[in-house]
Amino acid sequence: MASGRIIFLNGTSSSGKSSIARELLGVLDDGVFFHMAVDGFNAMRSKRELGVEELDAALRRTRMGFHRSIAAMAEAGNDIVVDHVLSEPWRLLDCLTVLRPEDVLFVGVHCPLDELARRELARGDRSHGLAAHQYDLVHGHGDYDLECDTSAASPRECARRIKEFLPHRPSPTAFTRLRRRHLTDGREPLTA
């Protein structure tokens, strides 16, 4: 059985990843795609109050489980659209460790800071300044297969661009290049 394809959308909160993912599910017509969002995994957690350390540990386990769930779905032959925020270096390292790099189309979802702030306020379900805090962190690795700016293109236009690019993924992929750069033997992280 062939591994599934992974379209991995990375960007700050409110950058438009979920909107692009929903559009992708409507425009991709050469397989069955599943939208897996880190927010969906966070929403599954019990709602009891946690202390800072306990919450940090729970969030780390949640994200590690999310990464392994993506890998398991793709390994079973499912095509996946991932919606994630790689705001801590260990998250990318973990993904590079558990996902087959040749299966991943790594897409940077960008949006100017002033527009992110406007969207954050309009949404009302995000803490003010979250996107600004993540802004310099999520794209710090500096390597993508494809990038889009949601202030210049609609989610539908971004989805169509991704669909057109998907059959022409570069070799090596961004995940392959990043894995070579950041992992010693392809499995062990240099830093966490």
- Please list the active-site residues: 39
DSSP state at residue 77: T
DSSP state at residue 152: T
What is the Cα–Cα distance from 115 to 121, expressed in whole angstroms? 10
Which spans in the chain are helix H? 17-27, 38-43, 52-75, 89-98, 113-123, 130-138, 155-165, 174-182
Q: Using CA of residue 75, residue 95, residue 143, residue 152, what is the dihedral sign?
A: positive
**Closest of 139, 105, 116 to residue 7, by C-alpha:** 105
Angle in degrees, CA 63, 143, 58, rounded to 5 = 10
Q: How is residue 177 written in tokens? A: 């290049």
87 CB contacts (<8 Å, ≥6 apart)?
12, 133, 134, 137, 138
